[in-house]
Amino acid sequence: MADKKIILNLDDNKDLTEVIGELLKRYSKEKGLNWEILSFTSPRKALEKVLKLPTLDLGIVNYTMPEFDGFEVTKILKKHFANCRIILQGACSAEEALAAGADLYIRTPFDPDELIQTVAKLLGE
């Protein structure tokens, strides 16, 4: 089995978090990949959990959230996990997302297949 990849799925919209989480799990299972999906609706709870991990491979982070916005979360994740790839999604500009340290920006609503293919590409799978 492939090396485990840990993916943070963070959006304060519970429904969207569940949809993205299920898409990632289904794709991982279909392709025989070893992806662990950590889904959160609270930036604070997400950071409390993932900052204790030895590694984080990828984060899918919503731009507009309470507590911390996606820019702040992106900067914190990049500081702690230098090799972590970040997809910032939501209602901001691509320039703002990239300036915050995101590797890629996806505007919502997005195409589910495009998101999955982007995640796989960023993870090298």
Supply the pTM of this predicted model. Answer: 0.93
Which tens digit of pLDDT belongs to each residue from 22-32?
A: 999 999 999 99
Identify the residue whose tokens are 């997302």: 97
Distance CA 62, CA 43 (A): 10
Nearest to 81 by CA among 48, 61, 58, 102: 58
Return the CATH number at 78: 3.40.50.2300
In order, the DSSP letters of 41-98 are: S-HHHHHHHHTTSS---EEEEESS-SSS-HHHHHHHHHHH-TT-EEEEEESS-HHHHH
pLDDT at residue number 11? 95
How many domains does the structure of the chain reveal?
1
The residue type of 88 is L
Q: What is the average pLDDT value for the chain, to the nearest integer?
A: 92
Which tens digit of pLDDT belongs to each residue from 55-105?
A: 999 999 998 888 888 889 999 999 999 999 999 997 666 787 788 889 998
Which tens digit of pLDDT belongs to each residue from 33-62?
A: 999 999 999 999 999 999 999 999 999 999
Range of the domain at 102: 5-122
pLDDT at residue number 2? 59
